[in-house]
Every structure is written in C-alpha cells, then in structure tokens.
Chains A and B, each alone.
Chain A
Amino acid sequence: MSEPHKETPEELDRENARPVADPAPTGGPQAEPTPSPVRDEGVLLEVDHVTLRFGGVVALNDVSFSLRKGEIFGLIGPNGAGKTTCFNAMTGVYRPTEGQIRFQGESIVGKKKHQITRGGIARTFQNVRLFPEMTALENVMVGADAHHKTSVISALFRLPRFWREEKSGRARSLELLRFVGIAHRAGDVSRNLSYGEQRRLEIARALATNPTLLCLDEPAAGFNPAEKEDLLQLIRKIRDTGVTVLLIEHDMRLVMGVTDRIVVLEFGKKIAEGTPAEVRDNPSVIAAYLGVPTDAA
C-alpha cells in the first residue's frame, strides 16, 4: 500500500514549511480500515491561492493551505469567515474564481460533485441533510452505492452482481453503523432518530463512500459537552482507520483538543496556520476571536 515515509509525527517547523506535493501520490481510497494510524507526511489536498467571488463579495481571498495524509486538520474562524465557502469549494459545490484545488495531485476544479465523492472526498453538512424517509441502513447504503456498479438491467433481473453488491453493501453499512454506535437504529426511518444519532448517521453515510478525506462541517453544533467528548473520540477513531479528517468548527476548545494542525480564516483570508498551540498564541487569532486590536493583545 503506502510507501514507508517514516517521518516523526512530532516533526515541527510546520509553520512555514509548506509541504511539496508528493510527486507520486500513493494510496487510493483506503479499501479497508487499518487499525494503526497512517501518518504519511505526503500532501493529500492542496488549496492553492483560491479566490472565490460572488459578484462584488469576496468570500475567499487568495487562500492557500494543504492537508497531509492521516492528520486531523481544523479550519476555524469567526462567523462569516468563509469556512463553509472554502469547504464547498473543496467538495465541488462552488467553483473557485481563481486558483486551484488539488486532491492527490489532481485538480478537482470543475469536477462534478459525485465524481469528487467517488474520488475520495466525503462530507457531512452543517445542517443535517439525511434522506428522512429512508431507514438509517438505507441512508448508509446510498453512500456505499457510490462504488457499486449494479446497473438498471442487473437490478431489474437480479443478476449475480446485484446480489453480490447488495450483500456486501449491507454488511459494510451495518458495520459502519456499529462503528458510529447506532447499529440498534438500523431499521428505523432516519427522521425518527435523535439529533445526535442523525449526526452520527451522517458521518456513517459519508464513511460508506470509502473516503480518503472526510470533511465534517460543524459536526458538534448543538451538542452538549458530553456529546462533544464522544464526538472527539469518534473523530480520533476515524483518523485511526487511516482517513484524513478536515474539521470545520466553531468551538475552539473542541478544535484545540483534537486537531493536529489548524488554519484560521477571517473575512475570507487566512490569518494563521499551525499547531493548536501556535495558533492559540497567535495575536491576530486572538484579535479575530476577541475583537481587540493586535497590539493590545
């Protein structure tokens, strides 16, 4: 699978060492979750000088950063900073006005959403967007279907491929429901699930598409501290299966507790990048969050 790229995880000096794009990106979508964390230092996703304008509004202004394989990456910023816009550009919802977004060395600008998903980027939504009339299991199976090849003809006549994929898709979906801890709700219609269960179900559905990169858009919104703690554990567990996690979050404490690296956006511009400790002490971040002038900090 992945080549031995044995750098120490504690490798510091990440502040200005923008990792150079791996010439030969390794490891496609992880077929099976591996138990140990894959701490490959190669670049997985690169946001390269991206600008996004809506008419006169500059939602993203020349933003650049990159995600490394196997890390938990935080994208934070005050309300309206452009976090979700950035996220949407990465998942194909918006097309950047300028700049490039490369995933595993390949540009994803202009690709269709479903192509990006099948390429290995999965996401959840800020406001839960499940398929409410479908059961929890069916929701996850829609995600699992992303890599299935059952055609209308083989479904109509129940050809062998249908049975094979239906069986494996169901097994994998059940396994994912167990992974996020809601297997006992598998047969329930998803709109009858509790809010916390729905959030977990959304994560399971995204994981079912076999992502290399999982993007979570404010997954802890509306959670109490205990639920947030559970979520942190789930995110770490996901990372430990070898999936890179991008986390958009409002709650600073949550982000600080789980991420390896953080980028801070404000008014569509990147104002800081680094480890949680570095970002926490960064004067402009403090200013952005507390609204005090830089020199007063």
Chain B
Amino acid sequence: MSEKASFRSNGGVRGWLGRQPVWVRWLVILVAAVAAYMLPYIGDVPVIGPQIVTEGIDWPSALFNMSYYVLLALGLNVVVGYAGLLDLGYVGFFAVGAYGTALLTSPDSILYEDTGWKWLMAVPAALILTMIAGVILGWPTLRLRGDYLAIVTLGFAEIIRIVATSTDVLRGDRGFASIPHPPGSWGGEPIFGVTDAIPYFWLGLTVIILVILGVRNLDRSRVGRSWLAIREDEEAAEVMGVRTFKYKLWAFAIGAFIGGLGGVLFAGEQSFINSQTFVLQFSILVLAGVVMGGSGNMAGAILGGVLISYIPDRLRGLSVGDTDLYEYRFALFGAVIIIIMVLRPQGLIPSRRRAMELKDREKEVAPQ
C-alpha cells in the first residue's frame, strides 16, 4: 500500500521540482552542481561542517572515493535497475578498466617498452577494453535469466581476480606501480599531484555529471523504454518487437563502460593497483548501495554510492571507549542496510516512473 501511495504522490522534492518552470529546474540543478563542486570545503562551514568531514581519512580523498563508488553505482544501476539483469560481478569491469590503464602506462607492464602511454591516451583504450569485456561476458550469458545470470557474473568477477592474482603478466600481489596521473598543470605545478585529492574529486564529479546526462538521455528514449520493458516482462517485450538480446547486451556494455570509467579514474589517482584491490566484496557492496538507494532511479543510485563509501570512511578513526569503530565498520554498515531495508524496502529514493508531460493533455481527454 505504502509503495503504491508513494508512487502516485506528487509530494516531495521531485514533485515540487516537476511543477516548476524550466528555468527554475535548471537553476536548482545548477546550484546543486556548484554545491557539489564546493564539497571539499564543507569543513569550513560552521557547526555542521566538522560533523560531516571524515576524521581518519583526509576529506578530499574520501570525496574521491565516493566519486568512483557513485560511478560504479550509476553503471550498475543501468544493468540491474533499468534492464533488470542481476549482475554480481560488476567489480570485474572496474578491474578491467584499472588493469587496462595499468598495462598501457605503468613501467612495470610488459607492454611498457611499446606503449608507456600517458594516462589520457590509455583512457579510451581501457574503456573500449571494458566494453569488449562486457560484450564477451554478455554474449553467451544473457540467454540466462535471474539467478543463473547472477551466478555466472559472480564467476566472471572471480575469474578476473584469479587471473590477476596468478598470471605473470598481471603481476598478482606485486601489482603495477607508477601509473601516471591525469595530465595538466597550473602555474608550473601539476594539477593532479600526490598530496591534494581535490582535483581528482573534481575530475570524478565532472565524469559523473557527464554520465548522468548520458544515462538520462538513454533512459528517456527508445533504449530506456526497451530496457524497462525487458525488466517488466521480457517475453511481452519481445512479442512487442523489442530486440531483447541486443538491448540487454547494450545494457551490459554501457554498464561495463561506466564501471571501466571508475577503474580508470581509480588507477589514475592511486597510481598503484594490485589483485587485492578487486575483491568480490566490492561488487556486493556496490549492489547493496544501488538497492539501498533505490534501484532503477539515478538519484537513488547516487545516494547509495555515496553512502557505501561515506559510512565506512566516516567511521575510520572514531572510537567508543577503547574500541575502534572502524574495525566494526562492516557490522555497523550491515546494521544500517538492514534498518534501511526494513523501513524502506523500495530504497531511499525509489524509482517512480515520471508521468509524461502532456501539455495538451486536457485536449486529449475527449474520447472518440
């Protein structure tokens, strides 16, 4: 009942925003974007600021962590939320993006003699590689449905991790060091250095905004409708002429691309990756974020991505008595997820199909 009510209600922020003229909507979005770019300085805001910033980890770094988690959540939301394909191995694409970058740029790579590219040059190649990985995984497996697909994707992520651990080329635990940072300099100093994480956060945020715009365009088109139709009733969709396989494969490839973006950014910031980075936990965590935030809704996915990254980082360095809360981060985190799921099973910001704006709807009313 409550789900139905929330579905129809015009209340809340979105209901209000939907009723405003176009310029107000754009203004609100613009203000929100500017505010997001100012987040690294939130600690300077009196009273609230110090409560928000993380203590055990430098705040801009925590923000950067959030940015790639949000990217992953946005990508996974396309696969799970829109197309309804349960993917438990999403970290695999993150890993492919990061390893693609490392192989093309790091001095530890066997390709270094031939490539030794700058970070920016490696980005398109790494992203194409992740999309190919998405198609390779999707082509044989997208005939499966539901739980079976979930198990296969779980296997995929493990294969990537085990290959990374045990092949010489991918260097296992030793990993790849000295992956170059993104380019650019300001007043003689490189923008993307080692000490200051703020530029990385800004870069991540910019990528997120572009991804949001792209996914929104896809969502409000034939592509988005096909995904939703597949999610709602795959057979009916096919009978209505939707090429289900093609659109599922696209969902996988686009999801992989966005996950790869996260990996590329991650490699560029960390400068070092090894096989320990891409554990299965990671996939589960991102999926938990998407479901918790509200599967099928970008705002929900973003919020979920922020939370899964922020909660553990905020707990770092906190202690109650002698116990370090960070040690209990997963327990606390699990408790938070359970509470949210009990109170709001549809997610914090549930998906609500926007009512189509019908300007001349009054005119359409007259039947026949």
Q: Are B217 and A145 in contact (CB under 8 A)?
A: no
Q: Are A142 and B225 in contact (CB under 8 A)?
A: yes
Q: Are A166 and B221 in contact (CB under 8 A)?
A: yes
Q: Is A209 an interface residue (CB 8 A)?
A: yes
The 8 Å CB contact of B237, one of A123, A131, A150, A155, is: A131
The 8 Å CB contact of B242, one of A145, A157, A165, A187, is: A145
A-B contact pairs, 30 of them (CB 8 A): A112-B238, A113-B238, A114-B238, A117-B241, A123-B239, A130-B232, A130-B236, A131-B233, A131-B236, A131-B237, A133-B228, A133-B232, A134-B225, A134-B232, A135-B353, A137-B358, A142-B237, A143-B240, A145-B225, A145-B226, A145-B242, A150-B223, A166-B221, A184-B365, A184-B367, A186-B358, A187-B361, A189-B7, A192-B8, A209-B241
Q: Are A146 and B242 in contact (CB under 8 A)?
A: yes
A binding-site residues for B, Cβ under 8 Å: 91, 93, 112-114, 117-118, 122-123, 125, 129-135, 137-138, 141-143, 145-148, 150, 152, 155-158, 162, 165-166, 169, 174, 177-178, 181-184, 186-189, 192, 205-206, 209
Question: Least Cβ distance of A137 to chain B in Å?
Answer: 5
CA A129 to CA B239, docked complex, whole Å: 11
Contact A205 B361, CB 8 Å, known A138-B225, A156-B218: no
CA A209 to CA B225, docked complex, whole Å: 15
Residues from 193 to 244 in B contacting A, C-beta threshold 8 Å: 214, 217-218, 221-226, 228-229, 232-233, 235-244
Q: Are A113 and B239 in contact (CB under 8 A)?
A: yes
Question: Least Cβ distance of A114 to chain B in Å?
Answer: 5
CA A93 to CA B236, docked complex, whole Å: 11
Q: Are A186 and B364 in contact (CB under 8 A)?
A: yes
B binding-site residues for A, Cβ under 8 Å: 7-8, 214, 217-218, 221-226, 228-229, 232-233, 235-244, 250, 254, 351, 353, 355-356, 358, 361, 364-368
Q: Are A174 and B242 in contact (CB under 8 A)?
A: no
Nearest A residue (CB) for B368: A181
Question: Least Cβ distance of B345 to chain A in Å?
Answer: 16
CA A91 to CA B367, docked complex, whole Å: 31
A-B residue pairs, 10 tightest by C-beta: A146-B241, A155-B221, A131-B232, A117-B241, A129-B236, A187-B355, A183-B364, A184-B365, A113-B238, A181-B367
Question: Least Cβ distance of A286 to chain B in Å?
Answer: 35
New A-B pairs, 14, CB < 8 Å, besides A182-B367, A206-B240: A113-B238, A113-B239, A114-B238, A114-B243, A118-B241, A122-B240, A134-B225, A142-B242, A146-B240, A152-B223, A155-B223, A183-B364, A186-B356, A187-B356
Question: Least Cβ distance of A166 to chain B in Å?
Answer: 7
Q: Are B364 and A184 in contact (CB under 8 A)?
A: yes
Q: Are B222 and A165 in contact (CB under 8 A)?
A: yes
Question: Least Cβ distance of A263 to chain B in Å?
Answer: 22
B226 cross-chain contacts in A, Cβ below 8 A:
142, 145
The 8 Å CB contact of A152, one of B7, B242, B250, is: B250
Q: Are A148 and B244 in contact (CB under 8 A)?
A: no
Contact A183 B222, CB 8 Å, known A133-B228, A146-B242, A157-B217: no
